[in-house]
Structures are given as structure tokens and as C-alpha cells.
A and B are shown apart, each in its own frame.
Chain A
Amino acid sequence: MATEKVSFTLDKNLVAEARATAGKRGLSRIMNDALSDWLHGRRIDQMLDEMDDEAGPLGDELVQEVRGEWRAG
């Protein structure tokens, strides 16, 4: 994986807590994972929105049904 050094301005308390937990090298990994998760979620949300636009929105009942099945195991 190619990497790039970047500079962020973050909440001081959050950084302190993250550093204490993960160490200096771990902070980059945490930031990378968080950014990766955020971008991934955004891509999926965009696709779901596109699908809603094309096929009409999903019924709440169906989503509730799937949610219930997954909760049940």
C-alpha cells in the first residue's frame, strides 16, 4: 500500500486517548481504517440511493423483515 504523509487538526483529547491506546504508529492505522470505513459506507449509501431513485424506495416493512431475520440469527 502506497502511503502519503498528511496533516490533520483533530480534537486534542481524542488524539491523546487514541495515542495512549494504540501508540504513535497505531494512530495512523486507526485514522486509515476510519477513513476507509467512512468511504466504504459512503459508496454503499450512494449506490442504495441510486437504486431507490431507479426502482423506487424500499418499503419499511421489507427492511424491518430483514432486520428481524438477522436479529433472530
Chain B
Amino acid sequence: MARRLILDAGAISALADLEPRARAALRVAREQRMRVAAPAVTVAETTRGSGPKDAKVNRVLARLDIPASDEARGRVAGGLLAKPGEGGKTIDALIVAEALSGPGGADILPADPKDMRVLAKGHPSVRVRTLRGNK
């Protein structure tokens, strides 16, 4: 199975707004033959109904895999949040849980990688990228 790139709401918004760095990340993901996915929680964060306000986001979402949420992912996310010293957000934990769900490993492209990196610590199959660059 192909490695996947999991997008959070910030990455979806950046693509909807045609931000060059997000587009460059997607291009590199394609070079690496990754499948690109937005978990249902990302859809919830980026859409507000079916009005024209969602049009730019919908164009992006229509091209991605949208894996369904399920109990297993929910329980993995809960376990991540239970780690000692962990104060992460449930939404971030669900995104990391999605990254952990497939057999091929996954990269996550969040707007803010800090919390996501804490949640993904100890899981070598998951790499957290950044939209801001390493500079």
C-alpha cells in the first residue's frame, strides 16, 4: 500500500487559498506516489454547510481520499491523548490516529506541527511535515 499524506484543516485551507508552499508539498507527495487524504474531522473543521463559502475547500476535498472515522481510530486517538504530559487536542489526536491506521505509514501535513509531533512521538511510521519550512 502506498504511503499516505494526511492533511489537517490548515493544510486544506492553504491549498484552497493556493498557497505556494502547500502546493509544493502536494507536488512532492505526488512525486513520491503518496495517496493524499483528509480525515472526516478535517472535513468538519473546514466546511460550514454547502454554501458558496465552501467552494474553494470543496474543490480540494473532492480530489482527496476521505477515510471514515471509526471506533478503532477513536480509541487510538484516546490512547494518544492519555500519554503522560500530553495536553493535545482531540482533533490533532484523530489525525495522528488516521496516520497510524494504514499499513504503509503516513506523513502528516499540519499548519502547526508542534502538537502533532508530540502526539506522534514514538511512532516511527508517522512523519510530521510542516507548511512553514524548517528555517
Q: Which residues of A contact B (CB under 8 A)?
A: 33, 37, 40-41, 43-48, 50-52, 54-55, 58-59, 62-63, 65-67, 69-70, 72-73
Q: How many A-B Cβ pairs are below 8 Å? A: 66
Interface string of B36-67 (1 = CB under 8 A from A): 10000000000000000000000110110100
Q: A-B pairs with the 10 shortest C-beta distances?
A: A55-B18, A43-B63, A66-B24, A47-B63, A62-B24, A63-B24, A66-B28, A67-B28, A69-B134, A51-B18
The answer to whether A58 and B30 touch across the interface, beta carbons within 8 angstroms, is no
User: Is A70 in contact with B28, judged by CB distance below 8 angstroms?
Assistant: yes
Closest to B2 in A: A37
Assembly CA distance A20 to B36 (angstroms): 31
Asked if B26 CB lies within 8 Å of chain A CBs, one says: yes
The smallest beta-carbon distance between A62 and chain B, in angstroms, is 5
In the complex where A37-B35, A55-B18, A69-B129 touch, is A63 in contact with B28 (Cβ < 8 A)?
yes
Least distance between B17 CB and chain A CB atoms (Å): 9
B117 CB-CB contact with A under 8 Å: no
Asked if A45 and B30 sit within 8 Å, CB to CB, the answer is yes
- In the complex, the answer to whether B33 meets A41 with C-beta atoms within 8 Å is yes
Partner of B20, one of A43, A58, A69, A70: A58
Q: Within 8 Å of chain A (Cβ to Cβ): is B25?
A: yes
Cα distance A31–B25 in the bound complex, in angstroms: 28
Task: Given contact pairs A48-B30, A51-B23, enumerate 20 new A-B contacts (beta carbons under 8 Å).
Answer: A37-B35, A40-B35, A44-B26, A44-B29, A44-B30, A47-B63, A48-B23, A50-B59, A51-B15, A54-B18, A59-B20, A62-B24, A66-B27, A67-B31, A69-B129, A69-B130, A69-B134, A70-B28, A70-B32, A70-B129
Once the chains bind, are B63 and A62 in contact (CB under 8 Å)? no
Chain A residues with CB under 8 A of B15:
51
